[in-house]
Amino acid sequence: MKAKHFIISGAVILLAAIALFYFLFFEGTGRQVLAQVNGEILSVEEFNRELEKVESPLKEMFREEPQSFLESLIVKKLLLQAAKKEGLTIPVKTYKDTTKNSKSPEDILIEDLMKNKFPAPPAVTKEEVKTVYVQLKDQLGGKSLEEVSADIEQIIREGKRQNEMRQFMKELRGNAKIEIDQIRLQKISAKPPESNSEDDLKKALAAQKPFLVDFGANSCVPCRQMRPILKEIGKEYSGKTEVLVIDVYKYQNLAREYKIQLIPTLVFFDAKGKELFRHVGIMDKEKIVAKLKEIGMST
């Protein structure tokens, strides 16, 4: 009985030692495990390092919804693992690799893998070219099939190649052993920017001064590109105008009421709350300010 108790105690001590080692090695060094890809660790540090390479506003959007960016890193690890299984190795860095636009050794390795997996371009039939030509004929400015067949063939071939690659990556992902620490993923998630409410819009309509409403969404890249511009205008002309941001997914009733088809849509209202102008897409700060002054904003 004592021997059994000794064995159990020893096992508990061993597990505790393993847990302590895990904490000291990974947590203590800042290498917090975010995911494991076939046993290979993907840390929070690596996630943050790769995210820093992304330009704004995508960087902020990925920070708010990190799952999609994590998935891209997982697929990249799977591709690198597949390349190593194929016997491919990371190329040696040269002075040319120090230029700003040079590809990383990992990206070159993945390209080599894809060349090995898909050495021959996908076949394209004349019937496929003709079908696409008929579909796009009205947009081709009266050009004949002979004039555009080579371009159409290239487009179809590239589309097929992309589909083959996506299927290959999907199979890699499906056959892999992936473990994601969802709690840690949630902890590193940033809070998305708040939008204005329906009540804010009602107050603006009753405020008796011209104002602007940006109908957009946090998940829309052009919308996010507009946010700093709108924030500057709201701050610089505080008291003279209001600049609202309405999330069309959160307030779908307002999107329907104001007939929003595409985002971002900037809608300009005069002091009486009447819509005088709207613009779809990104708009320069100078043009926005000029339009606000045109509809009655005091200078």
Give catalytic residues, as residue numbers. Answer: 220, 223
CA dihedral 132, 138, 141, 142 (to 10 degrees): 80
d(C-alpha 299, C-alpha 239), whole Å: 11
The DSSP bridge partners found for residue 214 are 245, 266
Q: Measuring CA to CA, which residue among 248, 234, 249, 247 is closest to residue 204? A: 234
- 160-163 — which CB contacts under 8 Å span 24+ positions? 160/122, 160/124, 161/118, 161/121, 161/122
102, 269, 275 from 250: Cα distances, Å: 41, 22, 22
The number of helices, as runs of H, and strands, as runs of E, in the chain is 12, 7
Helix (H/G/I), strand (E/B), else coil: 120: coil
